Structure 1
Amino acid sequence: MINDGIININKEQNMTSHDVVGRVRKILNMKKVGHTGTLDPMATGVLPICIGRATRIIEYLDLDLKGYLCTMKLGVDTDTMDAWGNETARADEAAVNAVSEDDVMEAFMDFNGPVSQIPPAYSAIKVNGKRLYDYARSGEKVDVPSRDIYITNLDIEEMQLHKGYDTTITFYVECTKGTYIRSICHDAGELMGVHGMMTALERTDSGVFSVENAVTLDELAAMDEDELEEIIHPAYAPLIHFGEIEVNEYDAMRLVNGLPVWVSHCNMLRRPEYEMKSFLIDLREEYRRAYNVFGLMEEGRKFIGVVFTDETVENVMPIKIFYDGGQKD
């Protein structure tokens, strides 16, 4: 059985991301399990779960774009910016009915490209070492700094207008990590002058993972070992923005033992995507020098791990090693 890799879970509603991790631990009887990014309890869709040593790549997924299909309702605001919170404001129903398609399109025009977004009060963001939802629940006020995000695409899928407090807008958005869709609903509602709250959210994509290829927890629990092997992705699968190199067995073992390898000994198959260009938001400089390294071993081509070149680009330095002598590609 594969003990390391990534499972693309289709999260059900009314489960926290931590709940999903717990279920996967129990199903697979494994302790080392982690998720790649929190999905709100009421949201559904893609939640990649890393198992075994694949949990070590979670920190490298900053470059993954996320896709969401969201439905919002006009006329009401809540403390959580969604339908699961307590109502804090309500617009006049006549004003809600007066919202036109042009009003909607104009409001959403602001959510394109770089955006400075203030996270919801009920969120897991930490301020001064404490999560925002803990401040909110205790009634404690705190200044919440804005965050730079980037929205690459936002399309209005459907508008059900002139229906009073049942007026809804459904939209698809593609964005960088850390974007709060609840905040988009809230802010768009304010721009239309009638408030707005999120009523449904599905994450359709997270990097290379899509909801079409995701499995539910019940489906996972019913799988035998052969079926599990088919749906577990290798640890390097989402690291598509890194470069790719091959080394011979001798140099592969140098890396495994924590030793550098001359760049001149490496077969550079692909350069890092952001080696010479900017990302949509701030980028860790090491990503410009990051590679997935594969060794041409006696038993075949094997994933060795993640390496960075040094600043002189003379050596590749082992950063995270995955090869254990018997792991499959």
Structure 2
Amino acid sequence: MVGAGILLVDKPGGITSHDVVARARRALGTRKVGHAGTLDPMATGLLVLGVEGATRLLTYIVGADKTYEATILLGVTTDSDDADGAETARADAADLAAVTDEAIAAGIADLTGDIAQVPSTVSAIKVQGRRAYDRARAGETVELKARHVTVSRFDVRGTRREETSIALDVVVDCSSGTYIRALARDLGRALGVGGHLTALRRARIGPFDVASAASVDDIAESALVTPAVAAATVVGALAVSGDDARDLRHGKRIDGGGRLTGERAAAIDPDGRLVGIVERRGSQLKSVMNMPEEVAP
């Protein structure tokens, strides 16, 4: 039986995140596999999978900041804000020629920092119990509210100009919930020529990097990151005694709130196993997520 852990997978284009989860379930021989953040079929890059009891850690990973590498095509608008959608408008060559590098830089600056972003209508956000993309594909009018997100880096790595388009290769660091398709749409709109996303690759989720990820074909042979290592990487580690580990597993609070420097930490028992995630409660610590107890090796 496969043990609990975190698995990093480099998703290829053309398949869904659920397809990757299904492959992992077959390869690892377990139904208990989940992921921390969906990638569209067009997108490639990092999926963080939780296996067995480590699925409980995904809630602490899904909200982490992310890094994306993307290509934005200015001059063409689509109904999905990406290359999978139908073209809805195309800019005149004269309008494109008037878009200077300085104007692009100014438009990007306006989309950097704390911004209010309206997600794409084909996003997975639920509207009255149904996914926005399901409503949009059914021909319904979808109006999503703006949400506050943070774009801490929005850099242009390359520019390729054609008569009918301008392609920008960009890298974006952003908070969870940021839509890169919406950045492409809003940049094109601000420049008066429209725009959409033609390529997207997720390079990082929190402390996890795609460089360490396995291909979907190598899942069965890939080593899992242990729950203790994964949790300590995400929230930091806090060593606890055997007695404290037992008390935390039984729902009791323990002394030692002053030892916690951040909001929470991964409590690690003397055998190196993850007890759970603890938070400060005054001068004490309380486990807010307990792992299923492992058998000591």
- Residue 289 (structure 2) pairs with residue 326 (structure 1): no
Q: Which residue of 2 aligns with 1:255?
A: 248
- Residue 284 (structure 2) pairs with residue 294 (structure 1): no
- 1:8 is displaced (CA, Å) by 0.7
Count how many residue pairs are aligned between Structure 1 and Structure 2: 296
Over 3 Å counting, the alpha-carbon distance change for 1:304 and 1:83 in structure 2 is: same
2:60/2:234 contact within 8 Å kept: no
1:60/1:239 contact within 8 Å kept: no
Over 3 Å counting, the alpha-carbon distance change for 1:80 and 1:325 in structure 2 is: closer
Over 3 Å counting, the alpha-carbon distance change for 1:205 and 1:171 in structure 2 is: same
Aligned identity (percent) is 34
Q: What TM-score, normalized to structure 1?
A: 0.85
- Relative to structure 2, which stretch is displaced further, 318-327 or 91-100? 318-327
1:208/1:238 contact within 8 Å kept: no
* Corresponding residue SS for 1:47: strand
Q: Which residue of 2 aligns with 1:141?
A: 141
Which sections of structure 1, spanning at least 5 residues, go unmatched?
273-287
Over 3 Å counting, the alpha-carbon distance change for 1:316 and 1:194 in structure 2 is: same
Q: What do residues 174-226 of structure 1 show as CA deviations (whole Å, max 9, x unaligned)?
A: 001011000000100111110011111111111111121111111224x2xxx
Distance in 2 separating the partners of 1:45 and 1:327: 34
Q: Which residue of 2 aligns with 1:96?
A: 96
Which sections of structure 2, spanning at least 5 residues, go unmatched?
none
- 1:94 is displaced (CA, Å) by 2.3
1:5/1:53 contact within 8 Å kept: yes
Structure 1 runs of 4+ with >4 Å offset = 238-241
Q: What do residues 202-259 of structure 1 show as CA deviations (whole Å, max 9, x unaligned)?
A: 11111111121111111224x2xxxx3xx31123425546353222111211112222
1:303/1:323 contact within 8 Å kept: no
Q: Which residue of 2 aligns with 1:68?
A: 68
Q: What TM-score, normalized to structure 2?
A: 0.93
1:125-274 equivalent positions in 2, closer than 5 A: 125-161=125-161, 163-221=162-220, 223=221, 228=222, 231-236=223-228, 237=230, 240=233, 242-263=235-256, 268=259, 271-272=261-262
Distance in 2 separating the partners of 1:152 and 1:136: 30
* Corresponding residue SS for 1:41: coil
- Relative to structure 2, which stretch is displaced further, 90-99 or 114-123? 90-99
Distance in 2 separating the partners of 1:136 and 1:105: 32
Q: Which residue of 2 aligns with 1:282?
A: none
Over 3 Å counting, the alpha-carbon distance change for 1:100 and 1:14 in structure 2 is: same
